[in-house]
Each structure stands twice: as structure tokens, then as C-alpha cells.
């Protein structure tokens, strides 16, 4: 039983280990089979566990990990309604992206390193998901952060990629610091870090303590899940290979924050303020990122901001108390967003640029890519019948019941989403070719994963009620009831807005054939609200100048002087005592004899 | 023989050894002088062994003998090398350590 769960985690770990240690002895074909196969095993094991254990919560003990006094952390794996869905989604999407990567990264000289990192990532993510306590989750949390850094900077000889990797790592450090403090606080409050224990005791915590712990943990979530104020690393993370963006920076890792909040929902619920913060940070991030996405010309940047925006929705869903709605959006988003990224990768692979202004008219050359991308775009825009519609609609309905303002911002953001997605489609696939000469459809090894994801992007939305029932045993899953007519009206508004936005995008980018690019607002948006510049001035510059001052004055003046001084002390001391070293045997013997005489004198003083 | 006489003999041997060590210039004789001093100390210890505490004193004697034997082995080797390399073995052959 526990073997099956261990297999889910360990198969990709073994893959990473073999590729790192023995990768150079493996041929190209061996790597291409081996690396996806380990993740495939993991996916199969998840599937078997999913059908046998179903959603019955149970902890599978493997071995003791930390044991200090009364404090114990076991290395065990938690299978419950939440982790079962996450494990299945993560291993499934990861498996498809591994296969796609064979086509996308096959020609790259660093493919062994690439697949080793990708396997290591899958291992870390599954560890994060199946962790039964905060310390183990933190290990997975840091593991995925490391892999994210390594894969963003995969082409490290490009300065932009190396810098983006560093930026992601440092920004995440800030969030992880909060996460760690939250863990410490919970430890001092409760003395036990098992999720089940924390959730069962959350009600007995003082409100302020629960608020502090929840907000600190949420700071970690904003780092990993790219929310305000720490979202700035994700757009830059697009420097990594596109399948990486699909897997890590869209489908799995960046949703870890949502998963963590869902996991510890009773703690957040203990403090109403923390949940309110989660909901509002989510919706503001969603709106802000969507507006920035409107003016991006890099196909991956559009998708990156759209990811930030969609994760904002998830947080809003969880923040208004609808954990199942937030998690359902995470579930469907994993499929359609990885699909969009893979399709974008297919386009980039074909035309060799990421700038949409140099694309255009790719519809006929790349019919499969065009169709799957359109399905993904319809799904994310919330067009009825597609996955995103059901999940987003559920979040919006729950947000409406919580606060009308939340709903209004959310529904406008949904309109913006539809607009920028179809702006992307019209600029990329319609109109006249601009710049590219030889485009080609991607090979089956890339097309088939996209087709499977396209299928999932449609049907995964149809199962909300069973999804909701599946999560029920967690005990904190509930939805507010909305009057049927009211629900239909809300649905009508959001769908109507999305359709109107698509038509508007068509009119601006196909009919008028030129975007709106004048005015103050456009400048503000293309400069991403100057957030990077503000952070630069507010944090980076003072920090760098402070570090420089410390290095110049404290380091050189105090530390260096102390170190050099101690060296000088021994040197001078040695020189001072060197007169004793005459090199004459008799002198040394004399010193010895003198020593003996003194020793004897001291010893026999009583007798004299 | 009385203990006093034996102790006097021991003191004599130690003094003679130390004096020899300071007075002579060739290493071999200096080594011999050292051994004489050590023998003097051993003699005193043996007197203690027969009069008061046998085990400790005897253990000390055996330890000194062992150290002396090891010392002679090393010292003779050093002297042999000195004679081979420098043609003589006096106390002034090695003063590179002079500060």
C-alpha cells in the first residue's frame, strides 16, 4: 500500500538520480525513453492509488525523519481527497510535458541536464503535494523552487536567462522567509506540524496568532504562486524553455500556494482577516495582471501574465471560502494553461521567434496547433462548454455571494482575459504572415500531448459536482447556494462580456489591423505599472548600496583589520621570541636544565 | 648500603651526566653523558622501589629505559648521518634553526 505511494514519489527521483549520475553514459534515445517513463510510472501509480484508495484519507508511514525531544516529524505520505487530485494532475501533466519535451528539446545539446532537472522537479512537486506535514511540504516547496531556478536559467549563457533565474530565486526567498516564519510560529503555538493536527486545533488558536501564522504562510504563497506583491519574477521566468513554462510556471508549481492555503484552510478560516486578504490579493492580482497582458507582444509574456491572473482567481475562490471552486479552477487551469503554453511552444519552434508582431497567418501552416490553441483560449475565456467556464463561473458566483465588488472586478477581468487571448490568436494565427518564411506543423511527439490536453481542456470542466463531492471528506468544503435565476444572470453577464471582448479583439486586430498604442494608459501598461522600477528603487538600490557600504567600511575597516591584526600579532610575537632560537644545542640543553631546576625547586619547596 | 649513600651516588651520576653534556663537544659523548644522567635517575627510582612503593617506581624505570633505548636509536642514526654528510659529529653542525 505505502509502496504504491512511495513509487509515485520515488520513480521520478530515481530518474533524476540516474540522469544526473549516469546521464553521460546514456544515449539520446535512452534518455528520451527513460525520463518520460519514470514519470509515466509515477502517473500510473497515482492512477492505481486513485482507483483503489479513492478519497479515503490515510497517512502512509515510511520512516522517522526528525526526532528532537517531544517533537517528531515522520517521513510519510498523505493520501486524501486534496492530495489525490493534485498527485494525479501533477504526474499526468508532467508526463505529457515530458513527452512533448522529447520533440521540443531533442536537438538541444543540454537535453540530459534538461530531463534530469525536469524529473527532479516532478519528484519535488509530488513530495510537496503528498506531504502530511509542513516541514516535508517545505522540502518539496524548496525543491520545486530550486528546479524552477535551474530551468529558468537553463540557457545560462544568455544573460537575460541567468538574471531571470536569479530574480525568481531571490523573490521566492522573500516569500519562503515568510513561509518559514509561519511554520516556526505554528510550531511554538502547537508543537506539532502535521496538517491534520493543525487543522483540528486551528479553532482553539487565539485569533491574532492564527492571523499572523496564516498571513506569514500566505506571504510564502504569494512568492511561489506569483501574486502581489511578489509576482514580478514570473514574467521574467519565461526565459526558460517553453515546456518548462508550461509545467512549472503554469500548471503545477505556481499553483502550490493555492494548494497550501486549501490544505490549511481551517487555519485561514480561524482568522477571517487572513481569508479576506487572500481573496482581495487574488482578485487585485488577477485584474492587474490581465491589464498588463493586454499590451504584451511576446507570446509567452501574455501567457505568463494570464497565469498570474488565473491564479489570482484561484486565491479569490479559496479566499471567499469556496475551497472546492478554487481547487477546481486549479485543476482545469492545469490542463488549458499547459496546453496554451505547449501550443505557443509549437509556434515558437516553428517560426523561431516569440514576438507576435513577427507572426501572423500561421493558421494554415499549423492547423493542429491552431485548433488546440483555440480550444485552450476558449477554455480560459470562459466560453460555455469548455473547462474554464465551469470553474471560473463557480468562483465568480461564490465571490458574488461574498462581496459584489469582488464579483465586479472578477467579471471585468474575465472580459479582459477573453480580449487578450483572442488578440494573441488574431495576431498569431490570422492575417498576413509577417516576417517568418518557413513554418511547419510540429511532429506527433509534440502534437499528441497537445491533443490530449485539448481534450482535457474541454471535458475536465464537466465534473464539478463530483469534484466537490470528492473533496467533501476534508470537512471544510462547502458552497453557498445561489438562487438559480441570479446564477443565470451572472453567468450571462460574464459570458456576454467575454464574447463582446472577443469581437472587440477581432475588430481591433483583424479589421483595423492595428492595435491601440497611444496615450498615457498604454505607456503605463507596457511598462507594467513601473512595478519593477519601483521595486528597484525601493528595495534593490538601497540594499545594494547598503551592502556596498558594509563591504567598504565594516568589512574593510573592522573585519579585515581584525583578521590581518591577528596575523600580525603572531608574526610580531614570533619575531620577539626568536632570540631564544640560537640554533646551539647547548643553549637548548641549558634551558631544559634551568627548567628542571625550577621544577625541582617548586616541588621540593616544602622540604627546604 | 644505606639509602642515603645510594641517593648520593644517584645525585653524583645525574650531576656528572649533566656536566658532561655541557662540557663535551662531540655528540657521541654528549649522548653518553645523557645516558649516565638517566641511569642516575633510574638508580634513585630503584631505591624508592625497594623501600616504599614498588610498582610505580618500577614502572617509571621501565618507561625511562624504553625512552632511553628509543632515544639512543634515533640519536645514533642522526650521528651516523651527520658523520656521513659533514664528516664530523660535533654540537655545532646544525644551527640552521638560529633565529
- A418 within 8 A of A497, measured Cβ to Cβ: yes
Judging contacts by C-beta atoms under 8 Å, the chain A residues touching residue B99 are 578-583
Tell which phi-psi region holds residue B10, choosing left (phi > 0), alpha (psi between -120 and 50) or beta.
alpha
What residue spans define the domains of chain B?
3-96
Work out the average pLDDT over A469-473: 92
Among all chains, which residue has been given the C-alpha cell 504584451? A296
Among all chains, which residue has been given the C-alpha cell 520545486? A144
Interface contact A583-B22, CB threshold 8 A: no
Nearest to B98 among A581, A586, A589 (CB): A581
Q: How far apart are CA B42 and CA B61, in angstroms?
A: 6
Q: Are strands A58-68 and A71-79 parallel, antiparallel or unpaired?
A: antiparallel
Nearest to A579 among B18, B94, B99 (CB): B99
Tell which phi-psi region holds residue A438, choosing left (phi > 0), alpha (psi between -120 and 50) or beta.
beta
| DSSP code at position A474 | G
CA distance B30 to chain A (A): 10
Q: Is the pLDDT of residue A352 over 90?
A: no
CA distance A582 to chain B (A): 4
Query: What percent of chain A lies above the pLDDT cut of 90?
Result: 73
Interface contact B95-A582, CB threshold 8 A: yes
Cis peptide before A326 (omega within 30 of 0): no
Judging contacts by C-beta atoms under 8 Å, the chain A residues touching residue B17 are none
Interface contact A582-B98, CB threshold 8 A: yes
User: Which residues have C-beta within 8 Å of that of residue B13, sequence separation ≥ 6?
Assistant: B36, B37, B39, B40, B43
Q: How far apart are CA B34 and CA A239, in angstroms?
A: 80
Judging contacts by C-beta atoms under 8 Å, the chain B residues touching residue A582 are 95, 98-99
Least trusted range by pLDDT, from A42-46, A176-180, A208-212, A520-524: A520-524
Query: What percent of chain A lies above the pLDDT cut of 70?
Result: 99
Q: What is the pLDDT of residue A1?
A: 66
Q: Is the pLDDT of residue A441 over 90?
A: no
Please write the tens of the pLDDT for every residue from A540-580. 999 999 999 999 999 988 999 999 999 999 999 999 988 88
Least trusted range by pLDDT, from A66-75, A95-104, A406-415, B12-21: A66-75
Nearest CA-CA partner of A355 in A296, A287, A398, A414? A296
Interface contact B91-A586, CB threshold 8 A: yes
- Residue A75 three-state SS: strand
Q: Which of residues 30-59 of B touch A (CB under 8 A)?
A: 30
Interface contact A582-B99, CB threshold 8 A: yes
Nearest C-alpha in B relative to A576: B99
Interface contact A589-B94, CB threshold 8 A: no
Interface contact A589-B95, CB threshold 8 A: no
Please write the tens of the pLDDT for every residue from A378-409. 999 999 999 999 999 999 999 999 999 999 99
Judging contacts by C-beta atoms under 8 Å, the chain B residues touching residue A597 are none
Kindly state whether B26 is in contact with chain A, defined as any CB-CB distance less than 8 angstroms: no
| Grid cell of A307 as nine digits | 497565469
Tell which phi-psi region holds residue A57, choosing left (phi > 0), alpha (psi between -120 and 50) or beta.
beta
Q: How far apart are CA A255 and CA A244, in angstroms?
A: 14
The CA-based angle A76-A77-A82, given to 5 degrees, is: 150
CA distance A574 to chain B (A): 10
Interface contact B94-A583, CB threshold 8 A: yes
Interface contact A585-B97, CB threshold 8 A: no
Q: What is the pLDDT of residue A516?
A: 63
Q: Is the pLDDT of residue B99 over 80?
A: no
Q: Is the pLDDT of residue A460 over 80?
A: yes
Nearest CA-CA partner of A182 in A254, A126, A257? A257
- A332 within 8 A of A391, measured Cβ to Cβ: yes
Q: At what angle do helices A81-105 and A444-459 cross, to 10 degrees?
A: 150
Q: Is the pLDDT of residue A344 over 90?
A: yes
The CA-based angle A462-A463-A465, given to 5 degrees, is: 125
Q: At what angle do helices A28-52 and A111-130 cross, to 10 degrees?
A: 10
Contact pairs from chain A to chain B, CB under 8 Å: 30
Q: From residue A177, give the alpha-carbon distance in Å to each of A171, A223, A258, A534, A570.
A: 10, 10, 18, 22, 42
- Residue A232 three-state SS: coil
Q: Give the pLDDT band (50/70/90) at residue B94.
A: low
Nearest C-alpha in B relative to A580: B99
Q: What is the pLDDT of residue A563?
A: 94
Q: How far apart are CA A84 and CA A259, in angstroms?
A: 12
Rg of chain B over CA atoms, in angstroms? 16
| Grid cell of B26 as nine digits | 662531540
Q: What is the pLDDT of residue A253?
A: 93
Q: How far apart are CA A283 and CA A314, in angstroms?
A: 9
Q: Is the pLDDT of residue B95 over 70?
A: no
The CATH fold of domain B3-96: Helix Hairpins (1.10.287)
Q: How far apart are CA A139 and CA A41, in angstroms?
A: 22
Q: What is the pLDDT of residue A196?
A: 92
| Beta-bridge partners for B26 | B90
Please write the tens of the pLDDT for every residue from A15-68. 999 999 998 888 889 999 999 999 999 999 999 999 998 888 888 988 899 888
Please write the tens of the pLDDT for every residue from A280-312. 999 999 999 999 999 999 999 999 999 999 999
Q: Is the pLDDT of residue B97 over 60?
A: no
Judging contacts by C-beta atoms under 8 Å, the chain A residues touching residue B22 are 586, 589-590, 593
Interface contact B22-A586, CB threshold 8 A: yes
| DSSP code at position A163 | H
Amino acid at each position: 500500500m505505502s509502496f504504491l505511494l512511495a513509487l509515485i514519489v520515488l520513480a521520478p527521483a530515481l530518474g533524476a538520480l540516474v540522469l544526473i549520475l549516469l546521464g553521460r553514459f546514456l544515449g539520446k534515445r535512452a534518455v528520451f525513453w527513460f525520463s518520460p517513463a519514470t514519470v509515466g510510472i509515477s502517473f500510473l501509480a497515482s492512477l492505481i492509488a486513485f482507483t483503489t484508495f479513492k478519497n479515503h484519507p490515510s497517512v502512509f508511514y515510511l520512516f522517522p525523519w526528525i526526532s528532537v525531544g517531544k517533537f517528531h516529524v515522520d517521513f510519510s505520505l498523505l493520501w486524501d481527497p486534496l492530495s489525490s487530485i493534485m498527485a494525479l494532475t501533477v504526474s499526468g501533466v508532467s508526463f505529457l510535458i515530458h513527452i512533448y519535451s522529447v520533440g521540443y528539446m531533442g536537438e538541444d545539446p543540454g537535453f540530459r541536464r534538461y530531463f534530469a532537472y525536469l524529473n527532479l522537479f516532478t519528484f519535488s512537486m509530488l513530495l510537496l503535494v503528498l506531504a502530511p506535514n509542513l516541514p516535508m511540504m517545505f522540502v518539496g516547496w524548496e525543491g520545486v523552487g530550486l528546479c524552477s531556478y535551474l530551468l529558468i536559467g537553463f540557457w545560462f549563457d544568455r544573460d537575460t536567462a541567468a538574471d531571470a533565474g536569479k530574480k525568481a530565486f531571490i523573490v521566492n526567498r522573500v516569500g519562503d522567509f515568510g513561509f518559514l516564519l509561519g511554520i516556526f510560529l505554528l510550531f511554538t503555538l502547537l508543537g506539532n506540524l502535521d496538517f491534520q493536527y493543525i487543522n483540528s486545533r486551528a479553532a482553539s488558536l487565539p485569533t491574532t496568532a492564527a492571523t499572523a501564522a496564516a498571513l506569514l504562510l500566505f506571504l510564502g504563497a504569494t512568492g511561489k504562486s506569483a501574486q502581489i506583491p511578489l509576482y514580478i519574477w514570473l514574467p521574467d521566468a519565461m526565459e526558460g524553455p517553453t515546456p518548462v513554462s508550461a509545467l512549472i510556471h503554469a500548471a503545477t508549481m505556481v499553483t502550490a500556494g493555492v494548494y497550501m492555503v486549501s490544505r490549511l484552510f481551517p487555519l485561514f478560516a480561524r482568522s477571517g482577516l487572513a481569508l479576506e486578504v487572500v481573496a482581495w490579493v487574488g482578485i487585485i492580482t488577477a485584474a492587474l495582471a490581465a491589464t498588463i497582458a493586454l499590451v504584451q507582444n511576446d507570446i509567452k509574456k501574455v501567457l505568463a501574465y494570464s497565469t498570474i491572473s488565473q491564479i489570482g482567481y484561484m486565491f479569490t475562490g479559496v479566499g471567499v471560502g469556496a475551497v472546492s471552486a478554487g481547487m477546481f479552477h486549479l485543476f482545469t487551469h492545469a490542463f488549458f494553461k499547459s496546453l496554451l503554453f505547449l501550443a505557443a511552444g509549437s509556434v515558437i519552434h516553428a517560426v523561431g521567434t516569440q514576438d507576435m508582431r513577427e507572426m501572423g497567418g500561421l493558421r494554415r501552416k499549423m492547423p493542429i496547433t491552431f485548433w488546440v490553441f483555440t480550444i485552450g483560449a476558449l477554455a480560459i475565456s470562459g466560453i460555455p462548454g469548455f473547462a474554464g467556464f465551469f470553474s471560473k463561473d463557480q468562483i465568480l458566483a461564490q465571490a458574488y455571494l461574498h462581496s459584489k465588488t469582488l464579483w465586479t472586478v472578477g467579471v471585468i477581468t474575465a472580459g479582459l482575459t477573453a480580449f487578450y487571448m483572442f488578440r494573441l490568436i488574431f495576431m498569431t494565427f490570422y492575417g498576413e504572415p509577417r516576417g517568418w518564411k518557413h513554418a511547419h506543423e510540429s511532429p506527433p511527439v509534440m502534437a499528441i500531448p497537445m491533443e490530449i490536453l485539448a481534450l482535457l481542456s474541454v471535458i475536465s470542466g464537466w465534473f464539478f459536482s463530483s469534484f466537490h463531492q470528492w473533496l467533501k471528506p476534508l470537512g471544510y468544503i462547502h458552497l453557498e447556494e445561489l438562487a438559480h435565476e441570479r446564477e443565470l444572470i451572472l453567468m450571462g453577464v460574464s459570458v456576454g462580456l467575454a464574447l463582446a471582448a472577443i469581437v472587440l479583439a477581432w475588430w481591433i486586430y483583424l479589421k483595423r489591423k492595428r492595435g491601440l498604442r497611444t496615450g498615457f494608459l498604454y505607456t503605463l501598461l507596457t511598462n507594467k505599472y513601473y512595478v519593477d522600477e519601483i521595486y528597484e528603487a525601493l528595495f534593490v538600490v538601497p540594499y545594494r548600496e547598503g551592502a556596498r557600504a558594509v563591504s567598504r567600511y565594516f568589512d574593510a575597516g573592522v573585519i579585515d583589520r581584525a583578521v590581518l591584526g591577528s596575523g600580525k600579532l603572531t608574526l610580531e610575537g614570533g619575531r620577539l621570541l626568536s632570540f631564544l632560537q640560537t640554533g646551539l644545542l647547548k643553549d637548548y640543553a641549558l634551558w631544559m636544565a634551568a627548567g628542571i631546576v625550577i621544577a625541582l625547586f617548586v616541588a621540593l619547596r616544602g622540604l627546604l | 648500603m644505606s639509602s642515603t649513600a645510594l641517593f648520593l651516588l644517584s645525585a653524583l651520576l645525574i650531576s656528572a651526566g649533566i656536566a658532561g653534556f655541557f662540557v663535551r663537544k662531540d655528540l657521541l659523548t654528549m649522548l653518553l653523558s645523557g645516558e649516565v644522567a638517566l641511569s642516575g635517575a633510574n638508580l634513585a627510582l630503584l631505591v624508592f622501589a625497594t623501600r616504599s612503593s614498588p610498582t610505580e617506581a618500577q614502572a617509571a624505570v621501565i618507561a625511562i629505559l624504553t625512552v632511553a633505548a628509543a632515544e639512543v636509536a634515533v640519536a645514533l642514526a642522526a650521528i651516523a648521518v651527520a658523520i656521513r654528510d659533514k664528516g664530523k659529529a660535533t654540537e655545532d653542525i646544525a644551527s640552521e634553526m638560529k633565529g
